[in-house]
Amino acid sequence: MGKWKGKGKVEVEGSTRERSISWDEEHTKFMLDWFIEYKKDQHAGFVWKSQHHLKCADALNKEFAMGVTFAQVSCHYRHYKENWKIVERALNKSGNGFDATKCKLTISESEKACLKVRDRRLLAKPIKYFHEMQELFSGSNADGSLAIYQQTYMDVDSKSDNSDWEGMNDMASYPHPIDIAAEDSDT
């Protein structure tokens, strides 16, 4: 099975690295859309784990008979997440813009010179799957559907019985605090 190789290390036959596959555009689009749809049904503090990548791998294998593993899906997902971090960092800098029709960032030449080679290559051309990455990776999945608008929440006119709400904020009935100068509140 394996041979001992110095100080407790075992040399294992075969490689632990997954075989690389080429992802077609339709496979990548399906994967990103699957993650978006799955995220919509989750709670606000949801975190992606390997079990979710396994479910996506199963869905890809059923749809396209690709034979991908969860590690390959996880690696591909991580690639797009890292790309989104680069795009988001560039979008957050003042002076940079985004052309929605071309899905391309507009960056000044002086700022392009400061970028790493990989970042410059990514940002120089139209960004594939920009909208999918934006929906999947930016912010959280909280959509504000449970938020209460404060102006209408305590709106007295909308209540049928105003007598319950009238004395709610009246502080006149509480006793006034006594100010004793000689006593220190810390002791």
Longest CA–CA span in the chain (Å) reads 84
Domain assignment present for 46: yes
Domain assignment present for 147: no
CA distance 109 to 112: 5
Which pLDDT score, from 0 to 100, does residue 141 have?
47
Domain assignment present for 157: no
Domain assignment present for 41: yes
Domain assignment present for 42: yes
CA distance 35 to 133: 10
Domain count, the chain: 1
**Statement: the pTM of the whole predicted model exceeds 0.75:** no
Range of the domain at 84: 23-95+130-137
Average pLDDT over residues 77-103: 88
Domain assignment present for 91: yes
Segment 21-69, tens digit of pLDDT? 889 999 999 999 999 999 998 988 889 999 999 999 999 999 999 899 9
As given in the structure block, the two tokens for residue 137 are 């990776």
Domain assignment present for 79: yes
Q: Cα(first)–Cα(last) distance of the chain, in Å?
A: 72
Segment 127-175, tens digit of pLDDT? 999 999 999 998 654 444 445 555 555 554 544 555 555 555 666 667 7
3-state secondary structure of 105: strand
Domain assignment present for 143: no
